[in-house]
Amino acid sequence: MEDLRIGVIGLGLRASLARAAHRPGAGAAVTALCDTDPAVLKHQAGVFDAAYVTEDHRRLLDRDDLDAVILMTPDDTHERIAIDCLEAGKAVYVEKPLAITVEGCDAILRAARRTGTRLYVGHNMRHMGVVRLMREAIRRGDIGEPKTVWVRHFVSYGGDYYFKDWHADRTRTTGLLLQKAAHDLDVIHWLAGGYTTRVSAFGDLMVYGDLPRREPGTSRPEGWLREYDWPPTARRDLHHVVDVEDVSVMNMRLDNGVIAAYQQCHFTPDYVRNYTVIGTEGRLENFGDGPGDTVKVWNTGPTGHRGDADIAYRVPDAQGGHGGADTGIITEFLRFVREGGVTDTSPVAARMSVAAGYQATMSLRDGGTPYDVPALDPELVAYFEAGQQRES
């Protein structure tokens, strides 16, 4: 089996995905690179020994010797570049979120259907051991039929990822209920078996609103993402634009009647996601979200508090970033490029997580007014649910 030839557009924080895809002699090789930063491009070219480098993604897409593209540029560029990839006939992996507006997502989905080019969206949490373990327990019937899902997202030092670069600027991301929460909203939908139809949210810029910022055009501080200050109010050197909320709560009604809630806070000392799923016959909750951590199930009772639970599952060991999820999602993408078909990730689900996060952000900035989530064209839903098979 010859290696798939992979081009990479954008070599920033998620360049680890490109390294996961570079498997020369084992199915895939990164052979072309694109980034608008010449210094980054020069460095990464040495990492991959890439034969072709460019600062213009259109030149990369003009090449006939590429089988697929991994797109990891800033969120506000996804719509334009993803459509360029699809129109160039290059199977494309788009890092989440798919886009920063509902309209942007729908434009990408329409382009994929129009061109027949394969589209894959990088919601890697569907490949995290803890998420797959919870989904298996639910599908097995450990807690009966899911009725409500609660997610508490403690962000801690993760705020450095968002408030010391472009993520802090709402024109680049819409807000963290879209950019950051898109992962968790997708997981809520996957675990609950439905999509959000109505949202209401509150939030504010409580942590980072008044902290010292860098001047425009200045570099991020030395030691960025290696050294963290505590408490959060001691942080300095933020991006020159900070206007996305860092504390938020979001309530959702899903199309199958499930009620869900998502909460995000950047004050916390710990960085972890906590899921609680309650069904007709019990509940489950994760304690830690990485390999070796635990998912507990309570499905006998009634009782008072019980720390021991009825069932305790250990999150399996895994190698690679995000608890093995980065390796898993790239493996699925490469299979998809070769064979097509249905995948665990879903462009429709990716759109629905963005739509929920976008409408929640609008609600948050409108005093908590409930907002409906726009439905997706049923023909697009059918196309992607059928594995992106073109009509004969």
Most confident of 103-107, 215-219, 315-319: 103-107
d(CA 184, CA 155): 13
Q: What is the 3-state secondary structure (H, E, C) of 125-167?
A: HHHCHHHHHHHHHHHHCCCCCEEEEEEEEECHHHHHHHHCCHH
Q: Are strands 52-54 and 272-279 parallel, antiparallel or unpaired?
A: unpaired
pLDDT tier at 222 (50, 70, 90 boundaries)?
confident
| Count of CB atoms situated within 10 Å of the CB of 381 | 18
d(CA 234, CA 236): 7
Give pLDDT tens digits for 49-65.
788 999 999 999 999 99
Cα dist. 174→33, 168, 300, 374 in Å? 28, 9, 43, 17
pLDDT at 12: 86
Contact 160, 271 (CB under 8 A): no
pLDDT at 9: 98
Lowest mean pLDDT segment, chosen from 7-21, 97-111, 275-289: 7-21
CA 89 to chain centre: 24
Nearest CA-CA partner of 275 in 210, 355, 192:
192
DSSP calls for 152-208: EEE-GGGHHHHHSSGGG-HHHHS-HHHHTTHHHHHHHHHHHTS-EEEEEEEEE--SS
Instruction: Reply yes or no on whether the pLDDT at 392 is more than 60.
Output: no
Residues 323-342 have a mean pLDDT of 94
Report how far apart the first and last C-alpha atoms of the chain are (Å, whole number): 29
pLDDT tier at 14 (50, 70, 90 boundaries)?
confident
pLDDT tier at 46 (50, 70, 90 boundaries)?
confident
d(CA 60, CA 74): 18
d(CA 345, CA 266): 28
pLDDT at 51: 87
* Percent of the chain surpassing pLDDT 90: 89
CA 178 to chain centre: 9
Residue 348: CA count within 13 A, CB half-sphere:
23
State phi, psi for 289 to the nearest 5 degrees.
-130, 20
Instruction: Reply yes or no on whether the pLDDT at 104 is more than 80.
Output: yes
Q: Average pLDDT over the chain, rounded to whole? A: 95
Instruction: Reply yes or no on whether the pLDDT at 142 is more than 90.
Output: yes
136, 179, 87, 35 alpha-carbon torsion, rounded to 10°: -110
Give pLDDT tens digits for 266-307.
999 999 999 999 999 999 999 999 999 999 999 999 999 999
Nearest CA-CA partner of 171 in 361, 327, 341:
361
Cα dist. 10→40, 61, 200 in Å? 9, 13, 34
pLDDT at 371: 98
Residues 300-315 have a mean pLDDT of 96
pLDDT at 320: 82
Cα dist. 370→188, 213, 356 in Å? 19, 33, 12
Q: Which two tokens stand for residue 179?
A: 């950019």
Q: What angle do CA 92, 20, 315 make, to 5 degrees?
A: 110
Give pLDDT tens digits for 376-389.
999 999 999 999 98
